[in-house]
Structure 1
Amino acid sequence: MMFERYESYRKSGIEWLGDIPSEWEIYKLKYVVKKIGDIDHYMPASVSIGKPYMMTRDMFEKASLINFSGCKQVSEEDFLRLSRKIKPVLGDLIFARYATIGTVCYVDIEKDFLVSYACVTIKPNHQKIVGKYLFYFFKSNFFLKEIKNYVNSNTQDNIGLDSLYRTRLIVLPYEEQLKIVNYLDIKTQTINKEVTLLEQKTAKYKELKQTLINETVLRGLDRAVKLKESEIEWIGEIPEGWEVKRLKDLGKTETSSVDKKIRDGEDIVKIVNYIDVYNNGNRELYNSDNYMLVSANSLQKRTKHLKKGDMLFTPTSETIEDIGISAIVLQDLENTLYSYHLLRLNFYIVIDNKFKKYLFNNQYVQSYFSKSAKSSTRKILGLTVFDNLRVAIPPKREQTQIANYLDEKTQKIDNIIETIQTKIALLKEFRKTLINDVVTGRVKVA
């Protein structure tokens, strides 16, 4: 794609910005905004029906939209009290100043809502700057580098209000700002639609993969086989030669006392942590130098080391939808234990290791765990829940056939998903580069 350049450029005086179009100026943010503010540092209680209380997780990165559907709700009383200090209105910007510093959102809707104190509300002076242009400029590489100079890293990374006022930006003639906004609105909306379609495609392939696993794990490969009642409501019928067994009949579910500390007098070991299982896309664990280093005593080393065939589970979660995630250990893990945030199933009987992966990562097992999770805050699965989980076990030869079949079919689906995700990544990178080049004057909008 060919882009036009401006007629003349001059030095910006900022090393990481370089040259800018001759008619453009560098200003501090304080000269083009009316106010930057946040609400009191107080976390209001949630209510079932109330006013939206927006946090950084509710900000869409790809567009200026705000995700009100998943927002926390607060009472009318808290809304009125907290909004006295500052309240976002149409045309304002929401800027994250803690943790995900620089995430920005443009308020393009007339609606009463609050913004968490982890964010600030920026009120542009609309006589000097177009609010939507400021939104796009905040996404530029230059501005992201600029705010790094003001980040306070004493505890959690953050940027103060005074520092934000001092950040520099490029200001250009008002009519040119409008042209840039109109151009980027059209271009980014086109890219966003393509990204959305590809994301929907990805979701469908992931659903197809899970459906394939669900059906094959419970029905096998022979669609003509005679079925029998499993006597488990959520499983239904299973092939005649299969058996239903409780987890406690398959093996022993074990906890661990190995934490993330290093203590004097103990040996250094590696541990598989909660996140190593939860974020494990292929649900398989191998030897790795990326596991965390901690210390363990001799008893822990003897009883909590991981060997080929072990199954690890996540017994806690913030939500019931993703509790009980599991991964299969496919090698004897050298000098590697498992953390106290996980449970291990140590098998008594021989089951195909690859089949185990599919046996415990399907819709039916997930449904059982979701219904069994306890606590009103962080969800927890007790040992009794695991012990009482019932699963359908085919003969060993069929286990291997099913595992091989699913490995082949799911790999093909994964390859398709990977190709789509590569396209999405390229589109997002193009969108980012386009915004950066336009708002910093690298290219001219016709």
Structure 2
Amino acid sequence: MNKYDNYIETEISWLKKIPSHWTTFRFIDNVNLRHGFQFRDYDFTDSGLKVIKISQLSPDGYLDLSDCSFISLDRLSSFRSILIKEGDILMALTGGTIGKIIRVGEVNEPLLQNYRVGNFFPKPTQLNKIFTYYLLASQITEEQINYLLNRNGQPNIGKESFKNMFFPQPPMEEQTAIANYLDTKTQAIDKKVSLLEKKIGYYQELRKSLINETVTKGLDKNVKLKDSGIDWIGKIPAHWEVKRIKDIFSTLAGGTPSTQNQEYWIGNIPWIPSGKVQNNDVLIESVEEYISDLALRESSTKIAKKNSVLIALTGATCSNIGYLTFDTTINQSIVALYPQKRNQTLSRFYFYFLMSAKEKIRTYMTGGAQGGINQEDVRFLDIVYPSKEEQEEIVKFLDAKLDTIAKIITNIQAQITTLKELRKTLINDVVTGKIKVSHE
């Protein structure tokens, strides 16, 4: 890629050099930052005007309107000054995603800006709006925000923060050329990423359907089937049985040692919460907390044995399934299943079966999104029961097939990561003048 003929050094540590015909500017001299309105809980209604909070700013650069809060429609006239329009530049000004930025696409309804979402308005005589978006999406913005956060120790930014931020400023016609160039290049990259993400979705669905089909129908495509008598299971091989979890598994739930006693949390016994149950193998490398023998003796936590099947009972991971690859203690939000007769039951087969039963397990949830499942409901869940030999054959088949799918997905994810890094680097190199964009 071409470079400019001449560069000059700047006094800005994170900018260093810029093309000799460019200048630099203090952000607030050329851009106005508008905060939204600080809505309170009592403002919100069940429907009406959508309020754009930080959670609506998607990491992929668009407005996600799927889970908005609302205020009453009849209050629109009071909030016209914070209406969001097509082309607006929005940034998260607080929280774990601080600095996350999007450019608003087509707007077909009134959208109101919440307080901790920033909206940026460049002076049209000084800055091209799309160029301004790319400046804010660049690494030089990220570096300056991180510097301020580390210096001030506050997890938020606002108008005062931008007083000490400096950026490069090419001539206006060059800004326009850069904006058009980056639009073309980033859209091409985004299209590739979107196609790759669809591929991942396809392989994830393939994985799910492969598990569902195999654990309920077996490997013999010509086998005679019978009605299982269970709606959500459907037909199964005629020689299989239907049992309940309690018939073939022992179950136990754990507990959490008191965090007030430091002696409980200095030891070498692994302890995992339900967040570690993520529909795959639970590996010892994922353990972040260890407890002592004293904690094991004096608290309600229990040791789940290696090769147990884990089910998350509460919260965001409720109904998630895990296959335990080591002995560990567990918290009260996990139930562990261990075969009563290991010579007749293979835990890993039921790890796969319960993966196919996740939607059924979720029907036992009470208490809304942060509710949970009763351990007794799990014990009475209907399950299929092939012979131990068939269980082993099915596990061998699924392990191999799913390993292949996992490798494909990992490869695609690596491609996506590379493309996103390329996008990020390209934006930064172009807006800082490392790469020349012709405007002729």
Structure 1 residue 211: Cα displacement:
0.5
What CA distance in whole angstroms lies between the structure 2 residues aligned with 1:260 and 1:38? 42
What CA distance in whole angstroms lies between the structure 2 residues aligned with 1:276 and 1:216? 26
Q: Secondary structure at the match of 1:435?
A: helix
Q: Secondary structure at the match of 1:361?
A: helix
Q: Which residue of 2 aligns with 1:432?
A: 424
Partners of 1:262 and 1:294 within 8 A in 2:
no
What CA distance in whole angstroms lies between the structure 1 residues aligned with 2:387 and 2:43? 54
* CA deviation profile, 1:48-99 (whole Å, cap 9, x unmatched): 5322222333223344x32224433332256555x36633333431111112
Counterpart selection for 2:105 from 105, 108, 115: 108
- 2:86 is equivalent to residue 90 of structure 1: yes
* CA deviation profile, 1:106-126 (whole Å, cap 9, x unmatched): 233344212333322222222
Amino acid at match of 1:88: I
What CA distance in whole angstroms lies between the structure 2 residues aligned with 1:116 and 1:294? 43
Q: Which aligned pairs between 1:137-156 and structure 2 lie closer than 5 A? A: 137-151=135-149
Q: Which aligned pairs between 1:104-253 and structure 2 lie closer than 5 A? A: 104-110=101-107, 111-151=109-149, 157-253=155-251
Partners of 2:144 and 2:165 within 8 A in 1:
yes
Counterpart selection for 2:396 from 370, 393, 404: 404
- 1:229/1:286 CA distance change after superposition, 3 Å: same
Partners of 1:352 and 1:396 within 8 A in 2:
yes
* CA deviation profile, 1:342-377 (whole Å, cap 9, x unmatched): 222243232213212212111xx1121222211234
Deviates more, 1:254-263 or 1:140-149: 254-263
- 1:196/1:303 CA distance change after superposition, 3 Å: closer
Structure 1 residue 260: Cα displacement:
7.2
- 1:298/1:89 CA distance change after superposition, 3 Å: closer
What CA distance in whole angstroms lies between the structure 1 residues aligned with 2:230 and 2:49? 44
Structure 1 residue 294: Cα displacement:
4.3
What CA distance in whole angstroms lies between the structure 1 residues aligned with 2:209 and 2:32? 54
Partners of 2:257 and 2:300 within 8 A in 1:
no
Partners of 1:86 and 1:121 within 8 A in 2:
no
Q: Which residue of 1 aligns with 2:381?
A: 389
Partners of 1:51 and 1:114 within 8 A in 2:
yes
* CA deviation profile, 1:132-183 (whole Å, cap 9, x unmatched): 1111111211111011222278886212331134322222211111111111
Aligned residue pairs: how many?
Answer: 431
Once the two structures are aligned, what percentage of the paired residues are identical?
30
Amino acid at match of 1:75: S
* CA deviation profile, 1:308-345 (whole Å, cap 9, x unmatched): 22222111234xxx6311111133x2xx3112232222
Amino acid at match of 1:286: L
- 1:151/1:4 CA distance change after superposition, 3 Å: same
Partners of 1:24 and 1:173 within 8 A in 2:
yes
Q: Which residue of 2 aligns with 1:263?
A: 261
* C-alpha RMSD of matched pairs (Å): 2.4
Q: Which residue of 1 aligns with 2:53?
A: 55
- 2:5 is equivalent to residue 7 of structure 1: yes
Runs of 4+ with deviation above 6 angstroms: 152-156
What CA distance in whole angstroms lies between the structure 2 residues aligned with 1:416 and 1:148? 35
Q: Which aligned pairs between 1:410-421 and structure 2 lie closer than 5 A? A: 410-421=402-413
Partners of 1:44 and 1:78 within 8 A in 2:
no
Q: Which residue of 2 aligns with 1:71?
A: 68
Structure 1 residue 305: Cα displacement:
1.5
Structure 1 residue 301: Cα displacement:
7.5
Structure 2 segments unaligned to the other structure (5+ residues): none
- 2:339 is equivalent to residue 347 of structure 1: yes
What CA distance in whole angstroms lies between the structure 2 residues aligned with 1:87 and 1:116? 10
Partners of 2:276 and 2:286 within 8 A in 1:
no
